[in-house]
Structure 1
Amino acid sequence: MKDYYKINEISKLYGIGTDSLRYYEKVGVLKPRRDKNDYRLYSLKDIYKLNVIRDLRQLGFSMQQIKEYLDCQSIDNTLQLLLKEQDVIHAQMKKLRITEQILRQRIRTLTKSAQTPDSCFTVKSFPDRPCLQLNTHITRDEEMDFAVKKLHRKHEHRIHDFGNQSIGAYVSAEDLKKGILGVFHSVFFILEEKTKEYDFILPTGDYLSYTYRGGYHQSPDRILELLAYAKETGRQILDEPFELYLIDNRDTVLTEEFLTEIQVRVSKDSPK
C-alpha cells in the first residue's frame, strides 16, 4: 500500500470530484503535501479524514461542522455532534409529518369537492363558525384575489395552511334586489379550530346551500335562485347570503372546474 496518492487517484477511489477535493483543502479540512512538481499528494491520514467527511456529509453535516469536529475529535465531541444532528433530524421529521398531514387533508378536501354534486339545493346544519374578515368593496375577480391575499397577509401567523383554508365572500341581498349585481362587501376565512380571536361568527343553525360549477359570472343569478327557492319553500332568510370557494384558482386554471357553494342562514322549519 502506498503512503501517498495523487488527486486523480483519490477522486476515482472515493467518487469525489477534484473540485471538491480542492475545496476541502481550501477550508482547511484536508492538507495534502506537494511533490517537487507541485502535485498534491494525499497521505493515509487524509484518506482517513475523507472517510469521516463522507460519513458526516451523508448525515447532513456542513463542512464547517466537520472541520470543527476534525480539529477537536474525541468521543465527547463525537457524541455532542451526533446528538445535535439527531435533534435537527427530529425537527425535520416533525415538519415533514405536519406537511404530510396538510397534503392528506388537501387531497381529502379536493377529492370530496370534485365529487360534490352541483345545481341542487340542500339544508345543512352547522355549529358556530368563527371567522376572520376584511370589509372591502369587490366588483372584479382580481379585486377578490387581492382582498383574499390582503386578509391572509394580515393573519398569516395563524393561517399556515392556506391551501386548505375555507374562503368566503358576502354579498348584499339588498343590492341584488336593486339590480346591483356582482358586488361583494367583504371576504372572510372560516377558522377550523376553536378560538377567542375572531372578527365575527357564522352562527349555529340551518343554512340553505346551493353549489355551482364554472365561472363567477354566474354568481348573481345563482344567488337570486337560492333566495327565490328559500321564498318558495317558505323559509325565512335570517342573514345575508355568502359564497364559499371550494375549488378555485388555488387548485385549477380551468374555470369550468371551479366549484362554488352559496349559503344563507334560514329559519329552522318552514311555516306549515
Structure 2
Amino acid sequence: MKNFFKIGEISKLYGIGVDSIRYYEEIGIIKPKRSESGYRHYSIHDIWKLNVIRDLRSIGFTMEQIRKYLNHHTVSSSLSMLEEEKEAISKQMQHLQKLQKNVEHRLNNIHSALSLPLDKIHLRNIPPRHCHRLPEGYETEEEMDLLIKQLINLNQNRLYIIGSNQIGTIVSLPALLNKGTLSYQSVFLIDDEGSDIIDGGDYLCVTYHGSYEKSAYWGQQLTQYAHTHNFTIHGNLLEILWIDIHTTSDESEYITQLQLPIK
C-alpha cells in the first residue's frame, strides 16, 4: 500500500476540492510533506484527518472545533466529540423528520387541491384557524410575495417549501360589490402557532382554476347565492391559494378557493 498520496489523488478519492485541501493545510490541520520536486505528499495520518474533517463537517461542526480536536485528541476528548456527534446527528434527524412531514403535507395538499370540485358553490362549516396576519394591502403578486416572506419569518420553526395552500388574503367585500374591484386588505398564513384567529363557522365556498381575476366574478356569485338562500354575510371574503406561482408557472393551473362567512 502506498504511504504517500498527491493532492490530486486525495481530491479524487474523497471528493474534496483541491482548494479545500490547501485551506486545511493553511490553517494547520493537515501538514503534508514536500517531495524533492516540490509536490505535496499526504500521509496515511493526513488521510485519517481528512476522514474526520469530512464526517464532522457533514453534521455541522465548525473548522475551529475540528482543528482543536485534531491538534490534541485523547480518549476523553474523543468520547466528548462522539457525544457531540451523537447530539448533532439527533438534531439533524429531527430536522429531516420535520422536513419529511412538511413534504408529505404539501403533497397531500396538492393532491387534495386537484380533487376539489370546481365552479360549484357549497356550504362548509370550518373550525377556528390560528394564523399569522399582516394588515397590509397589496396590488401586485410581487408585493404579495414580499408579504408572504414576512409572514413566514414570523415562525422560523416552520419549514415552507414549494409554497403552501395555507396562505390566504382578505378581499374587501364592499369594494367588490360597489366597484367590482378586488381590493386586498391583508394577507395571512394559517399556522397552529399563530397569534391571530380566523373565526370558525359556516362559509360559502367555491373553487376555481386560473387567474386571480376570477375572484371578482366568483365573489359576486357567492354574494348573490347568499342573498338568494337568505344567508346573512358576516365579514369580508377570504381567498385561499391552494396552487399558485410557487407550485406552477402556468397560470391556468392555479387553484384558488373563496370562502364567504355567513350566518
- TM-score under structure 2 length normalisation: 0.79
Partner secondary structure for residue 124 of structure 1: strand
Structure 1: tracts of 5 or more residues without a match:
268-272
Aligned-partner Cα distance in 1 for 2:210–2:7: 65
* Cα deviation code 1:11-39 (max 9, x no counterpart): 47x9368947655544434445556x455
Q: 1:84-233 alignment to 2 at 5 Å?
A: 84-138=84-138, 140-142=139-141, 145-147=142-144, 149-150=146-147, 152-153=149-150, 156-158=153-155, 160-162=158-160, 163-164=163-164, 166-178=166-178, 180-193=179-192, 197-198=195-196, 201-233=197-229
**1:182·1:219 contact (CA, 8 Å) conserved in 2?**
no
CA distance in 1, matches of 2:203, 2:90: 44
Who is 1:53 aligned against?
49
User: Is 2:26 the partner of 1:15?
Assistant: no
1:211 is paired with a residue whose SS is strand
8 Å contact 2:170–2:185 — kept in the other structure?
A: yes
Q: Who wins on radius of gyration, i.e. which is larger?
A: 1
For the residues of structure 2 that align with 1:18 and 1:130, how far apart are their CA atoms?
48
Root-mean-square deviation (CA), in Å?
A: 3.4
8 A Cα contact 1:207 1:265, kept in partner: yes
Unaligned runs of 5+ in 2: none
- How many residues were matched structurally? 254
CA contact (8 A) 2:7 2:40 kept: no
Give the CA deviation at 1:64: 4.7
Q: Is the 8 A contact 1:169 1:184 kept in 2?
A: no
Partner of 1:76: 76
Partner Cα distance (1:84, 1:114) in 2? 45
Q: Is the 8 A contact 1:212 1:259 kept in 2?
A: yes
Identity of aligned residues (%): 23
Aligned-residue offset at 1:214:
0.8
Q: How much does 1:237 deviate?
A: 1.9
What amino acid is aligned across from residue 77 of structure 1 in structure 2? S
Whole-angstrom distance in 2 between the partners of 1:147 and 1:8: 54
Q: With the length of structure 1 as denominator, give the TM-score of the two structures.
A: 0.77
Q: 1:213 to 1:77 in 2, by over 3 A?
A: same
d(CA) in 1 for partners of 2:7, 2:126? 72
* Residues 72/210 of structure 1: CA separation in 2 closer, same or farther (3 Å cut): same
The 3 A distance-change label for structure 1 pair 266 and 55 is: same
Residue 25 and residue 54 in structure 1: after superposition, are their counterparts in 2 closer, same or farther (change >3 A)? Answer: closer
